[in-house]
Structure 1
């Protein structure tokens, strides 16, 4: 199993299941990750032969050089450097790979994909404040924290304690952070942390 994990959020940006960890397999997973999510500034790996060789430059290193991506290599015999991805691999081994029986590679690949889907989008992570990896990767965690600060600044401690409203959508449009929320029956659109537009959803009483 080859996995590409975002260091900041623990979000698995791509993965693949292969009979052996060849250079071709590593490049396939890496290129898939970049096609889905863009180029990273830096990549951290161990010193496996797919990544590093004393003879010269590997195909992996050549690709990173061509794309302007900095390659950081873990210190030998120091597994803590790769602690986040090692922790993910331990969890999936303990919770899935060591307890399930797979009849084919295709079946194993499908079950692994289901596990990662749940891990990315539905499983809160203590290391990132109880958010899911997707919450942090896509900026939702940061927007929730910004929302909490805004409400605290206005003295709305009870609102903060109750958590974000049921209508709370976060995303990016043309590079701008956009947030749509329910504020006591009023639908508010925030752009880059500032209120852009609001609309009352509760009809006014006619006297």
Structure 2
């Protein structure tokens, strides 16, 4: 790779070499003309004589002979173990009898990505996508969350007292619609995840997005019972929305809303101890507002979701 202060590019090297080899310039004259040393001019002229135009490209900096390099059989074993078991350098090192740093270099040398960048089910690199405009695709999913009894749970009272205070408080069903392009999110706490409840949520979510200048064109859900019934399909038709479903046993396809729910749990639901479910619910609108309008999102290069919707961030107060 050419460094930023290199005086010659491959094109400049070719011009220098042709001046010396084809036009008969003295090496010192060519070196002075191209502002390089006599040795550098001689190197490129010599490589032009031997290899022609192809000799002007950079060569690999690795040595031709590496007597201490890891044997090929060991490298093959590391690659085979990685593909069969999908484990990282530390565990590969223990099985192959090499250092963890050696296992890491072998993986890097063969172009194998980190485990975080591959699908654990197939071992293939994760194919990430993003729709071109807001509303082109909205991800929808439900997160089931246990409600907090009055007085607090184990995080407030400790394990023994928390078990004594445990009552049949039921569950909160957090329905979320998240725009694929902007990551703008709309969430409601509903009593169940039945077909009628999901369909009504879609209607309200579509209205909420429309108020922010986003027309929902498609929705993507998993294959839960509520999303496969005629109630859901008919609601989509009435709203002019195309329903889409993920492949069975492939939650990664709907990964954006899955990741939002993880953020929601970390930064709101479990962020601090709450003494009641009402207290936690009271804190949710402020958190969602912060997420949509103020929180830098690493998935969109540190921008806020609202900044990717035309004029939305300017209208927010």
TM-score range, shorter chain: 0.5 to 0.7
Q: Is the 8 A contact 2:203 2:235 kept in 1?
A: no
Q: Aligned Cα RMSD in Å?
A: 2.1
Query: Where is the strand percentage greater, Structure 1 or Structure 2?
Result: 1
**Contact 2:175/2:201 (<8 A) preserved:** yes
The alpha-carbon deviation at position 139 of structure 1 amounts to: 5.3
CA drift at 1:44: 0.5
More helix by share: 2
Confirm whether residue 66 of structure 1 aligns to residue 243 of structure 2: no
Give 2:206's aligned residue: 34
User: C-alpha separation between the residues in 1 aligned to 2:221 and 2:266?
Assistant: 23
- Provide the residue aligned with 2:84 in structure 1: none
Specify which of 289, 296, 303 is matched with residue 131 of structure 1.
303
1:1-207 counterparts in 2 under 5 A? 1-12=174-185, 14-38=186-210, 39-52=215-228, 57-99=229-271, 100-104=273-277, 106-138=278-310
CA shift digits 1:79-124 (9 cap, x unpaired): 11011100010111122213432513x4333222221111101101
Gapped runs of 5+ residues in structure 1?
A: 141-168, 172-207
How far off its partner does 1:18 sit?
2.0
What CA distance in whole angstroms lies between the structure 2 residues aligned with 1:96 and 1:36?
22
For residues 102 and 44 of structure 1, what CA distance do their matches in structure 2 show? Answer: 36
TM-score, normalised with respect to structure 2: 0.40
Distance 1:89 1:170 in 2: 26
- CA change 1:112–1:77 in 2 (3 A) is same
Length, aligned pairs only: 137
Quick one: distance in 2 between partners of 1:108 and 1:49?
29
Deviation above 4 Å: which 4+ runs of structure 1? none
Say whether the 8 Å CA contact 1:15–1:29 is kept in structure 2. Answer: no
1:22, distance to aligned residue in structure 2 (A)? 2.2
Contact 2:293 2:307 in 1 (8 A): yes
